[in-house]
Chain A
Amino acid sequence: MIREPLIFEISDSGKRGFLLPKLDVPVIDDILGDIPSREEIDGFPEVSEVEVVRHFTRLSQTNFCIDLGFYPLGSCTMKYNPKINEKLALTREFLLSHPEASQDLTQGSLKILKVTEELLKNITGMDAYTLQPSAGAQGELVGMLLIRACLEERGNPRKIVLIPDSAHGTNPSSAHICGYKVQEIKSNDQGTVDVADLAKNMTEDVAALMVTNPNTLGVFETEIKEITDIVHTKGGFVYMDGANLNALIGTCKPGDMGIDVIHLNLHKTFSTPHGGGGPGSGPVGVKEELKPYLPIPIIDEKNGIFRLNRNQPKSIGRVRSFYGNFLVVLKAMVYILSLGPAGLKEISEIAVLNSNYIRKSLENEYHLKYLTPTLHECVFSDKIQKQNGVNNLDIAKRLIDYGVHPPTMSFPLIVQGALMIEPTETESKRDLDRFIEAMKQIAHESRNNPEVLKNAPHVSYVRRLDETSAARNPVLRWQKNNTDK
């Protein structure tokens, strides 16, 4: 394969990739006065349009993506991104809509937001939504800020947030920004929250429990009602990380489980594309009690007219400019409307079927630390393969040679050498079988030819990369003098 250089390395003086019309107003001299202006932007590229198009097209061909194949990253819900979502997000009236325009002139945009709020309320059983958070982690921050604001008004914001040891790293990090001390709750031998341990730790110093349901093992917290009752009895709130909502849609609603506040990931459950790392969208749903604290502005509707309402004295304020990642919200709305109630329920049914099919097919080859039934994902480990000196990294890298994306690795932290597999509902049996076959082959290779795993991948654009030296001697940008490599 052709090695694609950095754009800076193919730059040549005087080349242009885009031209502006000539300036059509008389030139004014000395606008800046004593404000310093800059010299030429040193090192900035000078390339033609053709060169830019080939550069990005070639680079694109080195990426794996969901349009290309199976992408079973656990807890990331890499489902197919429907093309109608993308097409309708290019509607001119939305693309050109200015966030500060008079609300009379942007009623359509406001309607999209309001309709989506209503849809999400009905799907999750919550009482109100904000669409402002840009991604899941910002949704977590909002959720915890809401809880803190409500507790403050009751007279005591409290000090501690309880988080199970299987949680995403963003949970403790978000709680920390809200000024809370994080206390870990141990999982029991089923991989779920240890209710006794929770009851012991749930004091009147605890503001909230952050729970993921189903958790990162794919296990439903069967005792969720007991869990939320314990927290509520002591005057705390229950926050649900909705990263794994794909397992529950149409089957049950977080609002019925005693959940007070939840964030969703539109870029997971609701099919909006992940874009190589964003933009996402992390709407936050709340029960009535937390509603007064939602970020401003909220959207009111009266007689079909939509109005932004900033007059919310108890609001936690804003977490970002304007109204969130509007186009991402639009795509999620299109997705929900395209599926309808039956299609939405089918998501969880097939996602869970696919995951259990993989689990059953691989349970004789790979170690399962927890035998508890799982929903949309399953977590194997490298324990068996370790006997031959092969670890989860080797398995993951070898999968690349078989043309599938590796599962999430080394997470959750409670499973050593974890391989966390989430197939989602959109995959064909043929693709599932190919993955299963590849995993079986790899298990076989680990016994008979472990070297082929340790040297994997063999067929990718680059082979195994030295991540240690990247961190030890960071080269984080191109510079003129480090070009000849």
Chain B
Amino acid sequence: MSYISLSEKDKKEMLAKIGISSVDELFQCIPDDLKVNQKLDVPEALTEPELTRQIEEIANQNSYQQFLSFLGAGAYSHVIPSAVDYLSSRGEFISPYTPYQPEISQGTLQIIFEFQTLICQLTGMDIANASLYDGASGAAEAALMAHRIKSRRKILVAKSIHPQYREVIQTYTRNLELSVEEIDFSDRGEVDFEDLNKKLDEDTAAVLIQSPNFFGVIEHIDHISALTHERQALSVVVVAEPVSLGILETPGNQGADIVTGEGQSFGLPLSFGGPYLGFMACQKEFLRQFPGRIAGETKDVDGKRGFVLTLSAREQHIRRERATSNICTNQAWCALRATIFLELLGKKGLKELAWQNIQKANYARNRISLIKGIEPRFRGACFNEFIIEFEKPWADIDSFLQEKGIIGGLCVTNSYPELSNCVLVCVTESHKKEDIDRFVDHLEEACS
């Protein structure tokens, strides 16, 4: 295929206008010894039918979608209303660039403004940005932001934050004057208060926790924030499963200074891990240190309301090495999908969604807890995920379940050696009662 729109006649006319006889002359500025003399070593061009067939053949090597799955761990299977797919596939949303010319980008800009508002309402914060890459890089940006605000060198990171998010925080902070220390978790699966209390000192810029945390346990954000504020550090709350915000008290009302997280649950398919949607919100006093693009309201010369990208003096294209972040392109189209999703579900729908998740997961947790050979590992309240510990080796249980067409969850022992033979199970509204019951029955069989 070729996506060129010039005819041979066009090309001739254009070359004549330029005053040359062949396109090669335009490449004379490239030294000959750098030019490749043979054609690129890639397969010959394929037509649409050939390509479709080839991609389908590769796709058929995936079989995960045939299983009844209870995997979560930062990537959640939720309902996606038809209108999300329909509206987001419009060329006017897919094919513009970042809205640098606001007069012809009002759609994108107003949607970012609505997205920012929705994120503020969900998190209980004053301001939100237009998006970041994902929850993990959002957590890293929050750590850097806290460091700039506080000019302190220590970041405390709860060990119950998603292991990959903690890896990304390490990568982003490694070469700055920052040390990252981890806070242990208690036998309830919550942040260990004693450990936090011990490690919080006058050099601590921020305490990062995740709620619901990686184990699915809901943290006491209010208590953690209070303790954090006693030492004048910032309370940063990471939310990997934002559906929980439909039912839990907002981080903002519990003392959080910065809230960041992953928005994949809001209308984005699993897609083997991306594209997903980082979001970030904070209290307005920290605006000047906030990373990423922000849309703001203004007026045009006729006094009509309009929206623009604003406060760009924080950003790399103006401030260069002194910018609040290096981010440029973000995940705008993913934020669009989240906005459509949230506006369709609305006030009642999101609450209902959160309620169904917590009810179904706890129904499953209670039933699984009764199985001999399985113990719930943590006693803390859970949202839609929980950790269970097996007496028998997980590998055996896993292959038994897979034979029955079930993916039972994610073994977390690689990330947490102390949680040996422990598995993270996720239950959402996408599971029907009969799915859960079938899972429980097979677990019983596997454990007996």
CB-CB < 8 A to B54: which residues of A? 337
Contact call B46/A337, Cβ cutoff below 8 A? yes
Q: What is the minimal beta-carbon distance from A246 to any residue of chain B, in angstroms?
A: 12
A32 to B134, CA, bound (A): 28
Contact A318 B89 (CB under 8 A): no
Contact with A along B271-282 (1 / 0, CB 8 A): 111111000000
Cβ–Cβ < 8 Å partners of B130 in chain A:
277
User: Which B residues are in CB contact (< 8 Å) with A350?
Assistant: 4, 6, 23
Q: Which residue of chain A is the closest to B15 with respect to CB atoms?
A: A353
CB of B408, distance to nearest CB on chain A (Å):
11
A95 adjacent to chain B (CB < 8 Å): yes
A76 adjacent to chain B (CB < 8 Å) = yes
In whole Å, how far is A447's beta carbon from the nearest beta carbon of chain B? Answer: 23
Q: List 15 A-B contacts (CB under 8 A).
A: A6-B114, A60-B92, A63-B104, A65-B91, A65-B95, A66-B95, A98-B69, A101-B71, A253-B36, A275-B96, A295-B171, A317-B168, A328-B275, A334-B51, A373-B26
Least CB separation from B136: chain A residue:
A321
Which range holds the interface residue count of chain B?
Answer: 35 or more
Answer whether residue A175 sits at the interface, using C-beta atoms and an 8 A cutoff: yes
Chain B nearest Cβ from A196, distance in angstroms: 19
Interface string of A1-36 (1 = CB under 8 A from B): 001101110010011111111011111100111111
- A352–B26 contact, CB under 8 A? yes
Q: Are B65 and A60 in contact (CB under 8 A)?
A: no
Is A97 a contact of B271 with CB atoms below 8 Å?
Answer: yes
| In contact, B51 and A173 (Cβ under 8 angstroms) | no
**Which residues of A sit under 8 angstroms from B131, Cβ to Cβ?**
277-278
| A470 in contact with B304 (CB, 8 Å) | no
Closest CB in chain A relative to B63 CB, distance in Å: 5
One digit per residue, 1 when the CB lies within 8 angstroms of any chain A CB and 0 when it does not, for chain B 169-196 equals 0111011100000000000000000000
Listed stretches A218-226, A379-387, A437-445; interface member: A218-226
Flag if A278 contacts B306 (CB, 8 Å): no
Residues of A within 8 A of B301 (CB): 455, 463-464, 466
Shortest C-beta distance, A388 to chain B (Å), equals: 21
CB distance from B217 to the nearest CB of A (A): 10
Known: A42-B121, A251-B35, A465-B102. A20 touches B311 (CB 8 A): no
What residues of chain A lie closer than 8 Å to B247, measured between beta carbons? Answer: 37-38
Tell me which residues from 367 to 381 in chain A have a Cβ below 8 Å from any Cβ of chain B: 372-373, 375
B101-148: which have CB < 8 Å to A? 101-108, 110-111, 113-114, 116-118, 120-122, 126-128, 130-131, 133-137, 144
Q: Point out the residues of chain A lying under 8 angstroms from B43, CB to CB.
A: 337, 340
Interface membership of B403, Cβ < 8 A: no
B285 is an interface residue with CB less than 8 A from chain A: no
Is B332's CB under 8 angstroms from A31's CB? Answer: no
Contact of A108 among B5, B60, B327 (CB under 8 A): B60
- A341:B349 contact, CB within 8 angstroms: no
Stretch in contact with the other chain, from A138-146, A198-206, A231-239, A283-291: A138-146
Q: In the complex the two chains form, what is the Cα distance from A178 to B134 in whole Å?
A: 20
Q: In A306-349, which residues have CB < 8 Å from any B CB? A: 316-328, 330, 334, 336-346, 349
Among A28, A49, A106, A373, the residue within 8 A (CB) of B272 is: A106
Let me know if A364 is at the binding interface, CB within 8 A: no
Q: Are B93 and A478 within 8 A (Cβ)?
A: no
How many residues from A make CB contacts under 8 Å with B?
A: 205
Are A24 and B134 in contact, CB atoms less than 8 angstroms apart?
Answer: no
> How far is it, in angstroms, between the C-alpha of A257 and the C-alpha of B31 when the chains are bound?
10
Contact code string B324-366 (vs A, CB < 8 Å = 1, else 0): 0111111111101000101111111111110110111011001
Contact pattern, A 112-149, Cβ under 8 Å of B = 1, otherwise 0: 10010001001100000000001111101100010010
Contacts known (A76-B97, A344-B42, A485-B305); A278 close to B334, Cβ less than 8 A: yes
CB of B81 within 8 A of chain A?
Answer: yes
Residue pair B300, A462 in contact (C-beta under 8 Å): yes
Contact between B99 and A277, CB atoms less than 8 A apart: yes
Among A34, A81, A277, residue most surrounded by chain B Cβ atoms (within 10 Å): A277
Query: Does B164 touch A at the CB level, under 8 Å?
Result: yes
A261 at interface (Cβ–Cβ under 8 A)? no
B134 touches A44 (CB 8 A): no
**A356 proximal to B (CB < 8 A):** yes
Q: A14-B348, A474-B294, A476-B127 are in contact. List 8 more A-B contacts (CB 8 A).
A: A18-B349, A32-B358, A91-B59, A93-B59, A99-B75, A99-B270, A279-B330, A328-B274
Give per-residue flags for B46-74: 1 if the beta carbon is below 8 A from chain A beta carbons, else 0: 11100110111011111111010101011
CB interface residues, B 307-327, toward A, < 8 Å: 307-308, 310-313, 315-323, 325-327
- Nearest chain-A residue to B9 (Cβ)? A429
Within 8 A of A (CB), among B13-55: 13-15, 17-19, 23, 26-31, 33-36, 39-48, 51-52, 54-55
